[in-house]
Amino acid sequence: MHFSSFSKTLILTTFIFSLSMVSMAQNRDFYQLKIYTLDNKSQENATDQYLKEAYLPALKRQNIKNIGVFKSRPNEKDSLQRIYVLVPFNSLTQFQNTEDALLKDEIFLIAGAAYLQAKFDQAPYRRIESILLRAFEGMPSMQIPTFDSPRAERVYELRSYESATEALYRNKVEMFNGGGELQLFHQLDFNPVFFGEVISGNHMPNLMYLTTFKNQASRDAHWKAFGESDKWNELKVMPKYQNNMYHADVLFLYPTEYSDY
The whole-number pLDDT of residue 80 equals 83
Q: What is the mean predicted confidence (pLDDT) over 185-203? A: 97
d(CA 193, CA 177): 16
Q: Could you tell me which of 163, 164, 175, 102 has the C-alpha nearest to residue 137?
A: 175
Look at the chain and count its residues: 261
- pLDDT at res. 2: 52
Residue type, 180: G
Domain coordinates in residue numbering, the chain:
29-255
φ/ψ bin of 137: left (φ > 0), alpha (ψ from -120 to 50), beta (otherwise): alpha
Neighbours of 238 (CB within 10 A): 10
pLDDT bin (cut points 50, 70, 90) of residue 22 is very low
In this predicted model, what pLDDT tens digit does every residue of 133-182 receive, in sequence order? 999 999 999 999 999 999 999 999 999 999 999 999 999 999 999 999 99
Query: How high is the pLDDT of residue 187?
Result: 98
Give the model confidence (pLDDT) of 50-59 as tens digits: 999 999 999 9
5 has pLDDT over 80: no
Dist. CA 158–CA 141, nearest whole Å: 17
Contacts 24+ apart (CB under 8 A), 231-240: 231/180, 231/184, 231/187, 232/181, 232/184, 235/175, 235/179, 235/180, 235/181, 235/184, 238/179, 240/171
What gap in Å lies between CA 40 and CA 43, rounded to an integer? 6
Contact 32, 87 (CB under 8 A): yes
Residues 6+ apart with CB under 8 A from 179: 235, 238, 241
Distance CA 117, CA 226 (A): 48
**pLDDT average, residue stretch 209-234:** 98
Tally DSSP H helices, then E strands, for the chain.
10, 8
pLDDT tens, residue by residue, 244-260: 999 999 999 999 999 99
213, 188, 36, 196: which is closest to 125 by C-alpha? 36
Residue 16 has pLDDT above 80, yes or no: no
pLDDT category at 18 given cuts 50, 70, 90 is very low
Residue range 12-17: average pLDDT? 42
Question: Torsion angle of alpha carbons 209, 48, 258, 110, nearest 10°?
Answer: -120
**Average per-residue pLDDT in the chain?**
91
Looking at this protein, which amino acid is placed at residue 216?
Q
Q: How far apart are CA 62 and CA 5, in angstroms?
A: 49
Average pLDDT over residues 1-23: 44
Collect all residues with Cβ–Cβ distance below 8 Å to 146 and sequence separation of at least 6.
261
What is the topology classification, in CATH, of domain 29-255? Answer: Alpha-Beta Plaits (3.30.70)
pTM, two decimals, is: 0.88
More confident residue, 19 or 45: 45
H/E segment holding residue 69:
strand 68-72
Whether 126 has a pLDDT exceeding 50, the answer reads: yes
